[in-house]
Amino acid sequence: MNTTAATTGETWRTIPHRIRTWADRQPDRVCLREKRFGIWQDITWREYWDNAQLVAHGLAALGVGAGDRVGIHSENRPEWLYTDVGCVAIRAISVGLYSTNPPAEVAYLLRDSGARVLIAEDQEQVDKALAVEDQCPDLEWIVYLEPRGVREYTNPKLLHWPDFIERGRAHQAEHPTLLDDATAAAGPDDVVTLIYTSGTTGPPKGAMLTVRNVSFATDVLGGGPGLYDPAPRESDVTLSYLPLCHVVERAATIWVNAAAGTTVHFAESIDTVVANLREVQPTLFFGVPRIWEKIHAGIQIRMSSASRVKRLAYRVGRALADRIADDIVRHEGRRSVRAKLLYALGYPLLFRALRDRIGLRKVRACGSGAAPIAPEVLRFFFGIGVVIREAYGMTENSAVATGNRGARVKLGTVGEAHEGTEVRLDDDTGEIMTRHPGNFAGYWNKPDKTVEVLDADGWLRTGDVGEWVDGTHLKIVDRIKDVIITAGGKNIAPSEIENALKTSPFIKEAVVVGDRQPYLTALIGIELETVGNWAQRRRLTYTTYRDLIEKREVLELIQGVIKQVNADFARVEQVRKFRTFPKELDHDDGELTATQKVKRATLHDRFGDLIDDMYGGTTKFAGGDLAQVHTPASSEVPA
Amino acid sequence: MSLQVDGAARGGADVPSGGGGGGDGARRRPRSRVRGRPQLYTSYAADQAIWNTPAKRAWTLALVAAVLVLPFLLSRDLTSLLTTVFIFAIGGIGLNLITGYAGQVSLGHAFFMGLGAYTAAVFGGESTDRVVGLGLDMAIWLPLAGIVPAVVGLVVAPLAARVRGLYLAILTLGLVFIGEHVFKEARSITGGAGVGRAPAEPVLFGVDLSGRYHLFGYILSREDVFYFVCFAIFLVMAIAARNLTRSKLGRAFAAVRDRDVAAAVMGVSLRRTKTLAFTISSFYAGIAGALLVLVIGRVTPTSWNLFLSIDFLAVILIGGIATISGSILGAMFVVLMPRLVSELADVVPFISTSPGTGVFSVFQLQTMLFGALIVLFLVLEPRGLYGLWVRARNYWKAWPFSH
* Element spanning A215, H or E: helix A211-217
Q: Do B20 and A234 touch (CB under 8 A)?
A: no
Domain's final residue, options A159, A186, A213: A186
Cα–Cα dist A497/A520, whole Å? 10
Which H or E run contains A165? helix A161-174
Give the distance from residue B12's alpha carbon to the nearest chain A alpha carbon, in angstroms.
9
Q: Closest CB to A303: pick one of B28, B39, B400.
A: B400
Q: How many CB atoms lie within 10 A of CB A30?
A: 24
Contact A34, A78 (CB under 8 A): yes
**How many Å from the N-terminal Cα to the C-terminal Cα in chain A?**
60
Nearest CA in chain A to B402: A306
Return the pLDDT at B354.
63
Looking at the domain assignment, is residue A209 inside a domain? Answer: no
Residue A253 lies in a domain: no
Q: Which residues of chain A neighbour B26 with C-beta distances below 8 Å?
A: 28
> pLDDT at residue A352 above 60?
yes
> Are A182 and A310 in the same domain?
no
User: pLDDT tens, A137-146?
Assistant: 999 999 999 9
Contact in structure between B309 and B316 (CB atoms under 8 Å): no
The pLDDT score that the predictor gives to residue B28 is 45
- Position B338 scores a pLDDT of 85
pLDDT at residue number B194:
78
Is A4 contained in some domain? Answer: no
Min Cα separation B347/chain A (Å): 36
Cβ atoms A639, A608 nearer than 8 A: yes
**Is the pLDDT at A5 greater than 80, yes or no?**
no
pLDDT, position B10: 36
- Write the residue in B23, B39, B399 that is nearest to A28 by C-beta: B23
Examine the domain organization and report whether A455 and A362 are in the same domain.
Answer: yes
pTM: 0.84
Contact state of A33 with B42 under an 8 Å Cβ cutoff:
yes
Does residue A203 form part of some domain?
no
Q: Residue B7: pLDDT above 50?
A: no
Q: Do A38 and B47 touch (CB under 8 A)?
A: yes
Comparing alpha-carbon positions, the chain A residue that sits nearest to B21 is A25
* pLDDT reported for residue B352: 65
A408 and A442 fall within a common domain: yes
Quick check: is A212 in a domain? no
* B181, pLDDT greater than 80: yes
Instruction: Give the integer Cα–Cα distance in Å for A528 and A588.
Output: 18
Residue A297 domain-assigned?
yes
Q: Is the pLDDT of residue B25 over 50?
A: no
Contact A281 B36 (CB under 8 A): yes
| Pairwise CB contact (< 8 Å): A29 & B43 | no
Q: Given this model, what pLDDT does residue B48 score?
A: 82
Angle at B335 between CA B334 and CA B341, to 5 degrees: 85
What per-residue confidence (pLDDT) applies to B31? 52
Give Cα B264 distance to the centre of its chain. 29
Facing B44 at nearest CB: one of A30, A39, A283: A39
With a cut of 70, say whether residue A275 has pLDDT above it: yes
Chain A nearest CA to B32, separation (Å): 9
Q: What is the DSSP letter of A459?
A: P
At B192, is the pLDDT very low, low, confident or very high (cuts 50, 70, 90)?
Answer: confident
Residues of A in contact with B14 (CB under 8 A): 235, 237, 283, 362
Residue A302 to residue B403, Cβ atoms within 8 A: yes
What letter would DSSP give residue A598? B
Domain residue limits at A147: 11-30+43-186
Last residue of a domain, one of A439, A464, A480: A480
Q: A594-621 burial, b for 16+ CB within 10 Å, e for fewer?
A: bbbbbbbebbeebbeebbebbeeeebbb
Q: Is the pLDDT at A200 greater than 90, yes or no?
A: no
Q: How far apart are CA B235 and CA A144, in angstroms?
A: 52
Phi, psi (degrees; rounded to nearest 5) at A161: -50, -50
Minimal Cα distance from A302: which residue of B? B401
Indicate whether A21 and A167 sit together in one domain: yes
B401/A283 CB distance under 8 A: no
Mean pLDDT of B316-323: 92
A618 lies in some domain? yes
Looking up residue A121, the CATH number of its domain turns out to be 3.40.50.12780
How much is the ipTM here?
A: 0.77
Instruction: Give the per-residue pLDDT at A271.
Output: 83
Q: Are residue A329 and residue A397 in the same domain, yes or no?
A: yes
Does residue B3 register a pLDDT over 80? no
Number of H helices, E strands in chain A: 23, 30
- Find, in chain A, the residue whose alpha carbon is nearest to that of B22: A25
**Domain ranges (residues) in chain B:** 76-337
Q: Strand A39-44 and strand A11-12: pairing?
A: unpaired
Cβ pair A233:B13 closer than 8 A: no
Q: Average pLDDT of A477-492? A: 88
- Residue-level pLDDT at A159: 96
Residue A365 has pLDDT above 70, yes or no: yes
The residue-averaged pLDDT of A23-30 equals: 95
**Can you say whether the dihedral through the CA atoms of A590, A595, A597, A601 is positive or negative?**
negative
Q: Which residues of A touch B (CB under 8 A)?
A: 25-30, 33, 38-42, 44, 233-235, 237, 263, 265, 278-281, 283, 302-303, 305-307, 310, 313-314, 317, 350, 353-354, 357, 362
For residue range B92-145, list pLDDT tens digits in order.
Answer: 999 999 999 999 999 999 999 999 999 999 998 888 888 888 888 999 999 999
Higher-pLDDT residue of A253 and A588 is A253
| Domain boundaries B76-337, CATH class | mainly alpha
Same-domain status, A424 and A327:
yes
Average pLDDT, chain A: 91
Are A454 and A509 contained in the same domain? no
Q: How far is B154 from chain A (nearest CA, A)?
A: 39
Contact B23 A310 (CB under 8 A): no
Q: Mean pLDDT score of chain B, rounded to an integer?
A: 85
Average pLDDT over residues A194-223: 90
Q: Which among B16, B40, B42 is the nearest to A234, CB-wise?
A: B16
Instruction: Please indicate, yes or no, if residue A228 is contained in any of the structural domains.
Output: no
Check residue B357 and give its pLDDT. Answer: 61
Whether residue B199 has pLDDT greater than 50: yes
C-beta of residue A246 within 8 angstroms of C-beta of residue A595: yes
Picking from B16, B26, B40, the nearest residue to A280 by CB comes out as: B40
- Cα A173 from chain centroid (whole Å): 40
Query: End of a domain among A186, A207, A235?
Result: A186
Q: Are residues A121 and A158 in the same domain?
A: yes
Q: Is the pLDDT of residue B19 over 60?
A: no
Residues A442 and A532 in one domain: no
B26, B36, B401 member nearest A306 (Cβ): B401
So what's the pLDDT on residue A340? Answer: 95
**pLDDT tens-digit series, residues B41-87:** 888 888 888 888 788 889 999 999 999 999 989 888 999 999 999 99
Contact partners, residue B308, CB within 8 Å, separation at least 6? B109, B110, B113
Hey, are the CB atoms on B402 and A25 less than 8 Å from each other?
Answer: no
Model confidence at B353: pLDDT above 70: no
Task: Identify all chain A residues contacting B30, using CB atoms and an 8 Å cutoff.
Answer: none
Is A507 found in the same domain as A396?
no
A314 contact residues in B (CB cutoff 8 A): 400
Q: In the structure, what pLDDT confidence band is assigned to residue B32 with cuts at 50, 70 and 90?
A: low
**Backbone torsions φ then ψ of A353, nearest 5 degrees:** -65, -45
Which chain A positions have a beta carbon within 8 Å of B23's beta carbon? 25-29
Pairwise CB contact (< 8 Å): A350 & B16 = no
| Residue in A24, A29, A37, A48 to test binding to B, most B beta-carbons within 10 Å | A29
In the sheet that holds A629-630, the strands lie side by side as A507-513, A520-526, A575-580, A623-625, A629-630
The answer, yes or no, to whether residue A593 has pLDDT greater than 90, is no
Task: pLDDT band for A546, please (50, 70, 90 cuts).
Answer: very high
Looking at CA atoms only, how far is residue A231 from chain B in angstroms?
A: 15
Share of chain A above pLDDT 90, in %: 75
pLDDT digit string, tens, across residues A39-77: 999 999 999 999 999 999 999 999 999 999 999 999 999
Distance from the Cα of B24 to chain A's closest Cα (Å) equals 6
In terms of pLDDT, which residue wins out, B52 or B284?
Answer: B284
Q: Which of A186-190, A599-603, A631-635, B345-349 has the highest mean pLDDT?
A: A186-190
Is pLDDT at A329 greater than 90 in this prediction?
Answer: yes
Residue A447 and residue A532 in one domain: no
Q: Do A305 and B402 touch (CB under 8 A)?
A: yes
Q: Mean pLDDT throughout B344-371?
A: 72
How many Å separate Cα A21 from the centre of its chain?
29
Residues A444 and A316 in one domain: yes
Contact B401 A302 (CB under 8 A): yes
Considering its fold, how many domains does chain A have in total? 3
Q: Do A306 and B20 touch (CB under 8 A)?
A: no
Report yes or no: A262 and A284 within 8 Å, Cβ to Cβ: yes
Which chain B residue shows the shortest CA-CA distance from A33? B42
Q: pLDDT at residue A10 above 70?
A: no
